[in-house]
């Protein structure tokens, strides 16, 4: 191979790395069981490059984005990877931790009664369960998907599973927008409208907490709430038209994910790209994670 061809191959390789694909390492378990901590993956950087931002996530797609609440420039914000569960114009409702019954990939915390002392870490590792531990009276607390529950039931049909879902009437102050008018928690959340560019909504004291950050921080206006009046840029208003598109992101590991339920909407200009493929897992190498497509 001559020097010119070798040089072109090297240039092409670097172009693919820096302009087309970008690597990330998953640093938390918030996307179990889709993504594991230690997964080395690549995202399709072409969607958001020097040629413009072409990323338009579909509902259900796994997306890399910049964490909105970091108080630095967008490009310097921490990168998060979550699943897009709400696109601009959607209204979503979370009930029992789910948005719809098709979410088979998600998992929750369960208390498992193990009367015959069958569960051990060898069994759990074999079905890809790594989060949780043994408590008292032969009970375990484990983060499980439907598939993993079925696997355990095949081992012993006397297991009893209790899903640790929060009560529908329990108010969780850690959920966005931390408003006592909205008795929401991680498992019972919404309804909440996802803003769409050009859409106009009514603004009032009952819903201003949902959209205040968008209006003030992301779209650069001033807001004042004076009794029953909302003032934007010192003018009393009853409606607001959004300038930008926004998205709602949630982790598949619903009880171990800090996501839009806790910090709100993701502006379109914070999106990086859709996640393409897991190359391998750098913490626990396994052929199961080798070149695994992200669904």
CATH placement of domain 107-163:
3.30.70
Question: Is 49 labeled as catalytic in the residue annotation?
Answer: no
pLDDT at 107: 94
Q: Out of 30, 33, 143, 260, pick the active-site residue.
A: 30
Residue 235 appears among annotated catalytic residues: no
pTM across the whole model:
0.88
- Region 1-90+247-295: CATH code: 2.10.109.10
Query: Mean pLDDT throughout 11-29?
Result: 65
3-state secondary structure the chain: CCHHHHHHHHHHHHHHHHHHEEEEECCCCCCCCCCCCCEEEEEEHHHEECCEECCCCCCCCEEEEECCCCCCCHHHCCEEEEEEEECCCCEEEEECCECCCCCCCCEEEEEEECCCCCCCHHHHHHCCCCCEEECCCCEEEEEEEHHHHHHHHHHCCCCEEEECCCCCCCCCCCCCCCCCCCCCCCCCEEEEECCCCCCEEECCCCCHHHHHHHHHHHCCCCEEEECCEEEECCEEECEEECCCCEEEEECCECCCCCCHHHHCCEEHHHEEEEEEEEEEECCCCCHHHCCEECC
- Same CATH fold, 107-163 and 1-90+247-295? no
Question: Which of the residues 82, 182, 213, 292 is marked catalytic?
Answer: 82
Give the domain ranges of the chain.
Answer: 1-90+247-295, 107-163
Looking at per-residue pLDDT, the higher value among 10 and 118 belongs to: 118
pLDDT (average), residues 39-53: 65
pLDDT class of 3 with cuts at 50, 70, 90 = low
């Amino acid at each position: 191979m001559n020097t010119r061809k070798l040089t072109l191959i090297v240039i092409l390789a670097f172009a693919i790395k820096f302009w087309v694909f970008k690597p990330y390492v998953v640093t938390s378990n918030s996307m179990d069981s889709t993504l594991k901590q230690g997964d080395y993956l690549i995202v399709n950087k072409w969607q958001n490059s020097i040629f413009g931002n072409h990323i338009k996530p579909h509902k259900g797609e796994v997306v890399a984005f910049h964490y909105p609440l970091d108080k630095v420039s967008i490009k310097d914000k921490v990168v998060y990877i979550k699943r897009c569960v709400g696109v601009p114009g959607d209204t979503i409702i979370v009930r029992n931790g789910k948005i719809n019954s098709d979410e088979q990939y998600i998992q929750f915390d369960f208390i498992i009664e193990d009367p015959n002392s069958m569960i051990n870490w060898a069994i759990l590792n074999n079905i890809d369960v790594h989060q949780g531990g043994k408590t008292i009276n032969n009970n375990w607390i484990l983060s499980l998907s439907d598939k993993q529950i079925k696997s355990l039931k095949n081992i012993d049909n006397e297991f009893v599973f209790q899903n640790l879902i929060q009560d529908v009437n329990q108010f969780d102050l850690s959920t966005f927008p931390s408003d006592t008018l909205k008795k929401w928690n991680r498992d019972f959340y919404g309804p909440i409208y996802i803003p769409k560019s050009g859409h106009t909504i009514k603004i009032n004291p009952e819903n201003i907490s949902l959209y205040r950050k968008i209006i003030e921080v992301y779209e650069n206006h001033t807001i004042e709430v004076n009794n029953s009046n909302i003032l934007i840029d010192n003018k009393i208003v009853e409606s607001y038209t959004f300038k930008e598109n926004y998205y709602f992101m949630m982790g598949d590991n619903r009880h171990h994910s800090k996501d839009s339920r806790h910090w709100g909407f993701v502006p379109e200009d914070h999106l990086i790209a859709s996640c393409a493929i897991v190359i391998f897992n750098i913490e626990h190498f396994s052929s199961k994670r080798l070149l695994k497509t992200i669904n």
